[in-house]
Structure 1
Amino acid sequence: MAMMDSVGFSAFDERPLPVSTTVTSAKEPAKALGGIAKRGLDILIAGTALTLLAPLFLLVAAAVKFASPGPIFYGHKRIGHGGASFRCWKFRSMVTDGDRVLEEYLAKHPDERDEWETTRKLRNDPRVTRIGAVLRAYSVDELPQLINVLLGDMSIVGPRPVVQDELDMYGEAAPLYLSTRPGITGLWQVSGRSDTSYDQRVALDTRYVQAWSLWSDLVIILRTVPAVISSKGSY
């Protein structure tokens, strides 16, 4: 902990976070943050988790298939290391005609359009199925991202994967986001999840990259378990 505190970051620090996103200029590195050590940890954890969780994968896949018409998995294009796009895989938690459902809902609830445009999330998302709501509450829908980790698109720990429109909201902090692989979990995940503002999410991602260490990754992984079990801030 002393090591992390010396650079202004502690994964155990529960004090309110500043929302400033001012960062020092930095050139995009040729290799992703953490190099071989971080990548090795990713492969070890993802490979082990996929093996141990295989029965859960089958159970969830069956539940998704029978809960509503459509595919079991959903792949959404996200921005990864260096600006490369990739398909971020999840268990499908929404109806298949989600775009239409969302637009109709926002047209009828203009007050919630502001929430959507500001955070890209809705507390009462009309697209989410019943089984999907349970999967999202406990982050089970994100388990297929372990495959993204093995493919090298993502890391176990990193910034929350974003689409291009969201990356534009990072402003001067965008180069720091692009310097690493987005993560299944991260400092945002263990610091309130959807209870944080978007500026705070950017500040969390910025802090994570600037103060990265293998130890901080391990701490965040350990803190993810109670954060997921409590389902606090999930929607």
Structure 2
Amino acid sequence: MLMSKLVRTGYYSSKRIVDIIGSFIAIVLLSPIFLIVAIAIKLEDGGTIIFKQERSGENDTPFVIYKFRSMTERVTSRPTGEYTWENGVPDTFVFKDTGEQDTRVTQVGSFIRKYSIDELPQFVNVLVGNMSLIGPRPEIVPITSCYSEKQKQRLMVKPGITGWAQINGRSDINNGEKIRLDLEYIEKQTALLDIVIFFKTVWLVIAGKGSV
């Protein structure tokens, strides 16, 4: 038991080091893309470049997530919505913000969503410690506020830019399957599993399959 605890502690310590180094390198290497996307968003409609939204982090602590804005300013300024489930979020629930063909999505937004470029600012979240490179995707607060005790277990670890659920269905799976996969990751998480998730994510992004 002691050895298992020491191994897990070492894993979390090394993971944070990887997060800091990895996110810093990513921000530096991807800075030309950051600049190009920022200019494209500004030229298309003159609106804000970064979309900010409150999400539930580790231990259900709220934080502000960053994305490149992909929808019209009028839509992104609206409240997220309210959910009133009393016995947890239904397993059949699938959160669909909007499709790529939705008229509320800008032309630039459609492209950056397809290849998950809109998620790149989250490397800043990783660098400052709100998120990890690998972990359960952070959910919006109105949904996590309805979580059952079992569903709350996915909030035990730091959320990630990508995770086990994302490489096994991404945005197409329902809540029940997402919870199952996230809890499976929390139970089995290792450096090797994180590496597998990372490279599978790279492949899915290049292929433009689904959205993170």
Please point out which of 191, 197, 208 is paired with 2:185: 208
1:157 aligns with 2:134: yes
- Aligned residue pairs: how many? 192
1:65 aligns with 2:65: no
- Contact in 2 for aligned 1:101/1:127 (Cα 8 Å): no
- Contact in 1 for aligned 2:170/2:211 (Cα 8 Å): yes
Aligned to 2:58: 81
Please point out which of 126, 129, 132 is paired with 2:106: 129
Cα shift at 1:233: 2.3
Aligned to 2:94: 119
Question: Which residues of 2 match residues 122-201 of structure 1 at below 5 A?
Answer: 122-123=98-99, 124-168=101-145, 170-201=147-178
Cα shift at 1:34: 4.5
Aligned to 1:234: 211
Change (3 A) 1:165 1:63: same
SS at match of 1:190: helix
The amino acid across from 2:115 in the alignment is Y
d(CA) in 1 for partners of 2:156, 2:10: 6
Q: What percent identity do the matched residue pairs reach?
A: 39
Aligned to 1:19: none
d(CA) in 2 for partners of 1:163, 1:32: 28
d(CA) in 1 for partners of 2:166, 2:76: 26
Change (3 A) 1:42 1:100: closer
d(CA) in 2 for partners of 1:170, 1:191: 22
RMSD between superposed Cα atoms in Å: 2.5
d(CA) in 2 for partners of 1:52, 1:226: 19
The amino acid across from 1:143 in the alignment is L
* 1:146-189: CA deviation from partner (whole Å, max 9, x where unpaired): 00001100000011111122224542333422211111011122
Change (3 A) 1:60 1:100: closer
d(CA) in 2 for partners of 1:162, 1:80: 8
- Contact in 2 for aligned 1:137/1:231 (Cα 8 Å): yes
d(CA) in 2 for partners of 1:156, 1:70: 28
d(CA) in 2 for partners of 1:99, 1:50: 25
Cα shift at 1:99: 6.0
SS at match of 2:105: coil
- Unpaired stretches in structure 2, ≥5 consecutive residues: 1-7, 81-91
SS at match of 1:223: helix
SS at match of 2:168: coil
- Contact in 2 for aligned 1:185/1:224 (Cα 8 Å): yes
The amino acid across from 1:96 in the alignment is E
d(CA) in 2 for partners of 1:52, 1:201: 31
The amino acid across from 2:94 in the alignment is T
* 1:75-117: CA deviation from partner (whole Å, max 9, x where unpaired): 10001012211110000101111168899xxxxxxxxxxxxx9
Q: Which has the higher contact order (CA 8 A, sep 6+)?
A: 1
- Contact in 1 for aligned 2:132/2:161 (Cα 8 Å): yes
